Amino acid sequence: MLLALAVVGAFSPGLFVLLGVIGFVTAIELLTPAEVRPRWYGRVEVLVTLALVTAAAVAGVRTVQLFEPGLLP
Protein backbone atom coordinates (compact mmCIF):
# COMPACT_ATOMS: atom_id res chain seq x y z
CA MET A 1 0.00 0.00 0.00
CA LEU A 2 2.78 2.41 0.91
CA LEU A 3 4.65 1.64 -2.31
CA ALA A 4 1.50 2.02 -4.41
CA LEU A 5 0.76 5.44 -2.90
CA ALA A 6 4.35 6.54 -3.46
CA VAL A 7 4.40 5.34 -7.09
CA VAL A 8 1.14 7.12 -7.89
CA GLY A 9 2.41 10.25 -6.16
CA ALA A 10 -0.56 10.41 -3.80
CA PHE A 11 1.21 9.60 -0.54
CA SER A 12 0.09 11.51 2.50
CA PRO A 13 0.10 10.35 6.13
CA GLY A 14 -3.65 10.89 6.40
CA LEU A 15 -4.44 8.75 3.38
CA PHE A 16 -2.04 6.09 4.62
CA VAL A 17 -3.79 5.97 8.01
CA LEU A 18 -7.26 5.81 6.45
CA LEU A 19 -6.35 3.01 4.06
CA GLY A 20 -4.53 1.14 6.82
CA VAL A 21 -7.55 1.31 9.12
CA ILE A 22 -9.87 0.14 6.35
CA GLY A 23 -7.57 -2.80 5.62
CA PHE A 24 -7.17 -3.66 9.31
CA VAL A 25 -10.89 -3.62 10.04
CA THR A 26 -11.63 -5.63 6.89
CA ALA A 27 -9.04 -8.27 7.80
CA ILE A 28 -10.38 -8.58 11.35
CA GLU A 29 -13.96 -8.95 10.14
CA LEU A 30 -12.97 -11.60 7.60
CA LEU A 31 -10.87 -13.60 10.07
CA THR A 32 -13.30 -13.57 13.03
CA PRO A 33 -15.53 -16.65 13.21
CA ALA A 34 -19.25 -15.89 12.97
CA GLU A 35 -20.59 -18.57 15.33
CA VAL A 36 -18.21 -18.48 18.30
CA ARG A 37 -16.65 -15.36 19.79
CA PRO A 38 -12.94 -16.09 20.38
CA ARG A 39 -11.15 -15.00 23.56
CA TRP A 40 -8.82 -12.69 21.67
CA TYR A 41 -11.68 -10.70 20.13
CA GLY A 42 -12.05 -8.48 23.21
CA ARG A 43 -8.49 -7.21 22.80
CA VAL A 44 -9.01 -6.67 19.09
CA GLU A 45 -12.16 -4.62 19.75
CA VAL A 46 -10.00 -2.12 21.64
CA LEU A 47 -7.58 -1.87 18.70
CA VAL A 48 -10.43 -1.48 16.21
CA THR A 49 -11.97 1.28 18.34
CA LEU A 50 -8.65 3.13 18.55
CA ALA A 51 -8.10 2.71 14.81
CA LEU A 52 -11.57 4.06 13.99
CA VAL A 53 -11.10 7.04 16.32
CA THR A 54 -7.76 7.79 14.66
CA ALA A 55 -9.31 7.50 11.20
CA ALA A 56 -12.15 9.82 12.21
CA ALA A 57 -9.64 12.36 13.52
CA VAL A 58 -7.64 12.21 10.29
CA ALA A 59 -10.81 12.58 8.22
CA GLY A 60 -11.86 15.55 10.37
CA VAL A 61 -8.50 17.27 9.94
CA ARG A 62 -8.60 16.70 6.18
CA THR A 63 -12.14 18.09 6.01
CA VAL A 64 -11.14 21.21 7.95
CA GLN A 65 -8.12 21.64 5.66
CA LEU A 66 -10.40 21.34 2.63
CA PHE A 67 -12.80 24.07 3.74
CA GLU A 68 -10.36 26.32 5.65
CA PRO A 69 -6.90 25.91 4.04
CA GLY A 70 -5.08 28.31 6.38
CA LEU A 71 -6.59 27.08 9.65
CA LEU A 72 -4.48 23.95 10.24
CA PRO A 73 -0.89 23.20 9.19
Q: What is the pLDDT of residue 1?
A: 67
Mean pLDDT of 42-57: 88
Q: Is the pTM of this model over 0.75?
A: no
The answer to whether 73 touches 61, Cβ cutoff 8 Å, is no
Q: What is the pLDDT of residue 73?
A: 65
